[in-house]
A and B are shown apart, each in its own frame.
Chain A
Amino acid sequence: MNLRAAMNLRAVWAIYRVEMARAFRTVLQSIISPVISTSLYFVVFGSAIGSRITEIDGISYGAFIVPGLIMLSLLTQSISNASFAIYFPKFVGSIYELLSAPVSYLEIVIAYVGGAATKSIILGLIILATASLFVPLHIEHPVWMLAFLVLTAVTFSLFGFIIGIWAKSFEQLQLVPLLIITPLTFLGGSFYSINMLPDIWRTVTLFNPVVYLISGFRWSFYGKSDVSVGISLGMTVVFLLICIAIVAWIFRTGYRLRN
């Protein structure tokens, strides 16, 4: 079947374009702010603390934290981009237009998640470029690096989309990223190897799903990881499938959208 006939691609493009335009309209908040934050991490962790930690797994500390820092921004920005994108029309009421348009659920998800993920990926690449100004970088598996980047951005944009539909207030919108994602990212080996932890804490940390994302992503850079790459990839895909299932349920039931 002709894709153009089967799908409302113009609608997908219209939503995607609006989302991208918002990022450029709020370039300070969307791009410059995370870049400054990352630079500060490099100054504090890379220079101040890094000068006392020579290397981890044979990697200089400054270079070691790069994948974790990218992942930190990727997770938080994917969630915040996608959750805001769908929550804002709900908040101002303009969601009526989306719900009354000849657009399928799949098209809505592709457009919003695609927009959010694109912004996060661009941001991740900008942070990567920024990091290269501070530390010499070597990417051992660039294709896998991109694959992890895209897969994580899409998965967490989907997760953000779910939060945006679930949230009834701006406070709820911030709740999950602030209280769950950021702590999990910090405790997930962004700034250290989990092998540096005592056994008991290492075991506890393995219940943190972010560990697998950071570990897999770091492997794509340096060929070294805290847990097996296959498990990292598998966990990311499992989380992606869970998010897809939740989104499918939301659209089937009209949860907090059509009720």
Chain B
Amino acid sequence: MARTVRCGIDFRPCAPTFTGFRTTTRFRQPFSAMPSIISISGVTKTYATGFQALKEINLDIQRGEIFALLGPNGAGKTTLISIVCGIVNRSSGTVTVDGNDITKDYRAARSLIGLVPQELTIDAFESVWATVNFSRGLFGKPANPAFVEKVLRDLSLWDKKDAKAITLSGGMKRRLMIAKALSHEPRVLFLDEPTAGVDVELRQDMWEMVRRLREDGVTIILTTHYIEEAEAMADRVGVINRGEIILVDDKAELMRKLGRKRLLVELRSPLATVPEKLSRYALELSPDGQQLTYTYDNQSDRPGVASLLRDLEAAGIHFRDMDTENSSLEEIFVNLLRQEP
């Protein structure tokens, strides 16, 4: 079978500024030479109502990574994963999973994928044991009670194996959805908003579970609008907005390139105004005059911290303490969306 292998050519989609991310260029993981496990080329989706949910999506997901697809509500996240999983027909474009076309080789492609949808959609009257075994059978796998038991134990559902789904709490139902998705031993797991409405403890458990799965070689695609989720887990981050991928990058790289830093300088004596000779730093003075804030990023033309400290000293401004803050992925995300026309 012909198999598309796309190597991880170091391709930066855009200049490292907050503008100009709109592009239909194929994004690739900058550092990896591993072939992608999912390849999405020119995928569009227009619903019967005329609404264009996806404009032209080109995206490669690398084998074994945790990829976070971020986007506001209605951005096209669920439509995209529904197309890859075979739930929604695409209008155009091609998708392959481990080299298998999702239409021509749908059996091979789908058998590699597990999907945990956003909504808690379970046959409420089936028992936990029955519904997980049903999922395994649906994917053509022979019965394997030992494996199903392990999945249920890993997800703390073993005690509830005979309980009907309707009797489970929201968190347990969410875990049951995951158990169903893992029942056929998928190599790719889609988690669509996995922690929406989930308490902190369960969220931590899920993150831990996702990391364990990654260690076992499972590729994980996570859609979320909780930035902290992506920040905590993802290797790479993609941002989708209004049906277009506007950015894909390594998470650490993204934060390095687009993340802003703030230097907070606590002064010994309050200032009334910032001296004119420090204007090139665009410093912000707190209302009480006790703190100067210098915002900079790794890519900007602004002078560095060392230069600022020297100039403060030269201006006779002495400081008592200082601290730095990094912008979170959330701030980067918000900034990116603000750039969108």
A interface vs B, CB < 8 Å? 8, 10-11, 13-15, 17-18, 21-22, 25, 88-89, 92-94, 96-104, 254, 258-259
Contact A100–B110 (Cβ < 8 Å):
yes
* Interface range on chain B (Cβ under 8 Å from partner): 35 or more
Least CB distance from B113 to A in Å reads 7
Look across to chain B and name the residue whose beta carbon is closest to the beta carbon of A25. Answer: B125
Contact A10–B125 (Cβ < 8 Å):
no
Q: List 20 A-B contacts (CB under 8 A).
A: A8-B140, A10-B137, A11-B137, A17-B134, A18-B123, A92-B122, A96-B82, A96-B85, A97-B115, A97-B135, A99-B87, A100-B85, A100-B86, A100-B115, A101-B110, A101-B139, A102-B108, A102-B109, A102-B139, A258-B86
Interface residues of B in 98-137 (CB under 8 A from A): 106-111, 113, 115, 117, 119, 121-126, 130, 133-137
Q: A15, A97, A104 — which one has the most chain B CB atoms within 10 A of its CB?
A: A97
Contact A11–B88 (Cβ < 8 Å):
no
B interface vs A, CB < 8 Å? 47-48, 82, 85-89, 106-111, 113, 115, 117, 119, 121-126, 130, 133-142, 180
Least CB distance from B336 to A in Å reads 30
**Bound CA–CA A170/B284 (angstroms):** 62
**Bound CA–CA A15/B133 (angstroms):** 11
Contact A13–B137 (Cβ < 8 Å):
yes
A-B contact count (CB 8 A): 82
Contact A259–B140 (Cβ < 8 Å):
no
Contact B126–A259 (Cβ < 8 Å):
no
Q: Which residues of B contact A93 (CB under 8 A)?
A: 117, 119, 121
**Bound CA–CA A101/B108 (angstroms):** 10
Q: Which of the residues A22, A88, A103, A258 comes within 8 Å of B89, measured between beta carbons?
A: A258
Q: Which residues of B contact A258 (CB under 8 A)?
A: 86-89
Contact A94–B121 (Cβ < 8 Å):
yes
Given A11-B137, A93-B117, A258-B87: A102 in contact with B110 (beta carbons within 8 A): yes
Q: Which residues of A contact B47 (CB under 8 A)?
A: 259
Q: Which residues of A contact B82 (CB under 8 A)?
A: 96
Q: Which of the residues B48, B87, B139 comes within 8 Å of A96, measured between beta carbons?
A: B87
What 3 pairs between A and B have smallest CB-CB spacing? A14-B137, A93-B121, A102-B107
**Bound CA–CA A92/B88 (angstroms):** 17
Q: Which residues of A contact B137 (CB under 8 A)?
A: 10-11, 13-14, 17
